[in-house]
Amino acid sequence: MKKRLPDFILKRSPFITGIVLLLMTGTLFLLPKAHLENNIHDWINKEDPLYQSYQKLTHHFKNDEYLQFSFNTQAILNDSLLKDYVEFLELLTKDPNVEDFIDPISLFLEENNLNYNELYTNPSIHLSKLNTFIQTLSQHQGWSQLVLSKDKQTSALIVFAQSSSKNKNQTIYEDLNFRFKQLNISFDTTGPIYFSKFLATSLKKDLTKILPLLLILSFLILMFYFKSFKIAFCVSMGTLFSVLTTLCLFPLFKVSITLASLIIFPLLFCIVTTLSIHLFYKIALNKHASHPFKKAYKETFTPGLMASFTTALGTTAFLFSPQQAISLIGWIAPIGIFLAFVSAYFFIPSLYHLLNGNFHSIQAFTFKIKGFQKQSKPVALLILVLFCLITLFLGFQLNKLKINSDALFFFKQDSPLIKSYQSTEKNLTGTLTVQLLLQSLDKQPLTNKDSLNKIYSFEQRLQTIPELTKINSIFDPLDEALKKMHRGGLNKNHNNHPLLIKALRKIEQRSPQAKTIFLTESEETSRMTLRFKNFSDKRFPEIKKNIETIWRDISTENVRISITGIIPLILESQTQLLANQVKTFILLILLISLCFLILFKSIKIAFISMIANIFPIIITAGIMSLLNISINNINVFVAAVLIGVIVDDTIFLLYTYKNKKNMAEAVKEIGPAIGLTSIVVCLGFSSLLISNFIPIIQFSILSMIAIFSAYLCDLFMLPALVQFLPKMEPNNDISL
């Protein structure tokens, strides 16, 4: 087949080029439909039993999607601004996407049985009373502590989105953010809705910077190496084709572009550029042959196809992610890599043939690889021992690797999002929430004496957890009701069950919503919200264990507790992701080894090739530990994705060795191309250094470390391993 393809390309160059240019034009109609969406729910495993508990929680109680605006309290305590602010609140009551909201003003109106119109019409009459209310509000329990700081200087408006409006979160944010800006007061924004919007905005900025940079790099590299504008232009067009068509796969398959998608585009750049370098480099070497393109095509097609296949195989690791935001990339990436291969071996040669007419004038910048000389077995053994010692030392660092999937650590410390969250935690309360769902198993209400006392004791014991800043539960409105009844609050009456029930019934009469936030109508299910300051992943399992231990010490078998919420779900998905990736990596090693076995028909070559490619992964992981880079939802894919990339040069080197029967000659011939392709791959992944996301930057750094160490292994370790193999069987070529 590969003997006929060059003739087809030369004869059908106008047709191939025309089809590709037509496809590129068609992408212009699909690209506007590409959707940047980073709903925080896409980062959790919806098959997890915890998610079922979360669905029950959001079904019975308020939606967990919220937006919080924090601002200076004094800013609204004057006639004009108070009037504008009340008008803004009244509009919220009519917004179909808003389920509910809470802030000091709404609490004041509820306390004094006022409506928004009364306060809007005569703000000055109520201003003095409002000031007094705010002074005493900070002493209250419950929601008041979430919307007013202890020093009364900072207030917050918390807006809960309708459950049916999850797909409209970005619209909700833009609308409310615009309205709040109209008040002309400075504010900080937090909450899952803001996080999702900020993530999508940052992703868009990354795409607009990284994609042009990759095209520029592609052009400059080819210009430097081949000193040919036509080759540089053709390869840049090929890169553009693969990027545009891959971008169009997202709307075509109705998949949103997510954070993990950023990894795909350097891979496409690497495939197109490295395959083109190998092809045109071989053409330059064979330029005096009667048909240099046909000869070069025949020599590079099979290893190029296998290199593309192993890279695509590595990206299938995304498929095994329990998180939808990542797993869908496992379908897009392999198709994109196939398009990159088609671009390198069909479109680029066709376009160049149309522009130049022949392949005899191609020249390549050459340099000698001095690092490899013909090795004796003692020298080869010394090199192997050296690599083994380095790998062993770095391998011992693996047990020091840390895990951190907290999405807040995705952003740089000087980003607006981090500053807003830090300001909110400093002035108000913790921004990370853990939800506890308490369910009666015997259909008895949780408000019976035994259950209510135990739940209260459980809440008191939870206060000992260091990172916990606030607990919201049914006891918050109960405490308020008891104080209004002049019974001294909850602390003095928590054992007086008849009085608690009386207070609960008063809540139902006066403000039913205050009860239904925490307790269902049947009173068989209750909700407790724990608010933490930003904690690391290594602390969460300990916190979870503490919660479960406290509950076991207090509870009866009649009540079940489920720890759920967005944060626990994300962390649980991270644990599952790590377990999946270990299995996936082992499977990939076996599959890629099988590819080597099929290609080279030698178990020994397949074995030494994988040894030479596993070492760079271990070295990279060890350096990752030394650099104190924690494992997160993105860089966890370094091993699986990069094993598919770094074997590419191994394939080209061993393929040349298979034909030459001499490793020194193989390195001499293919070494310059391997050196340049390693530089190209490093430059491709270096484009991610300008990202706004820390995990993407880390992925870039780790990728460059893996590529550099793989280059050294290919140049020194692999030839050393070959010294211990029997002579190659006489076989001048490997058929596809």
pLDDT at 405: 61
pLDDT at 536: 55
Q: Which of 31-40, 90-99, 193-202, 271-280 has the lowest mean pLDDT?
A: 31-40
Sorting pLDDT into bands at 50, 70 and 90, what band is 735? Answer: very low
- Residue 47 pLDDT > 50: yes
pLDDT at 78: 83
Which residue has tokens 């891979």? 267
Share above pLDDT 70 across residues of the chain, in percent, rounded to a whole number: 91
Distance, in Å, from the CA atom of 125 to the CA atom of 88, rounded to the nearest integer, reads 19
Radius of gyration of the chain (CA): 32
pLDDT at 279: 92
Q: What is the pLDDT of residues 165-217, one digit of tens each?
A: 566 677 888 889 998 999 888 999 998 888 888 888 888 899 999 999 999 98
pTM of the model: 0.85
Tokens of 321: 């992610």
Distances (CA, A) of 457 to 167, 442, 499, 518, 598: 39, 21, 17, 17, 66
**Of 618, 597, 619, whose CA–CA distance to 607 is shortest?**
597
Distance, in Å, from the CA atom of 702 to the CA atom of 688, rounded to the nearest integer, reads 11
Strand ranges of the sheet holding 559-564, from the earlier edge strand across to the other edge:
468-472, 525-532, 432-440, 559-564
Distance, in Å, from the CA atom of 655 to the CA atom of 670, rounded to the nearest integer, reads 10
Distance, in Å, from the CA atom of 125 to the CA atom of 120, rounded to the nearest integer, reads 10
- Residue 335 pLDDT > 90: yes
Residue type at 245? Answer: T
Distances (CA, A) of 733 to 10, 648, 658, 705: 23, 18, 8, 33
Q: Which of 392-401, 518-527, 647-656, 663-672 has the lowest mean pLDDT?
A: 663-672
- Residue 142 pLDDT > 70: no
Tokens of 193: 């809705």
DSSP for residue 290: S
Distance, in Å, from the CA atom of 498 to the CA atom of 293, rounded to the nearest integer, reads 92
Mean pLDDT over the full length of the chain: 84
| Contact between residue 243 and residue 661 where contact means Cβ atoms under 8 Å apart | no
Distances (CA, A) of 449 to 313, 335, 452, 529, 553: 60, 62, 5, 22, 18
Sorting pLDDT into bands at 50, 70 and 90, what band is 654? Answer: confident
- Averaged over 572-583, what is the pLDDT? 81
Is the sign of the CA dihedral 711, 712, 713, 718 positive or negative? positive
pLDDT at 412: 84
- Averaged over 42-48, what is the pLDDT? 81
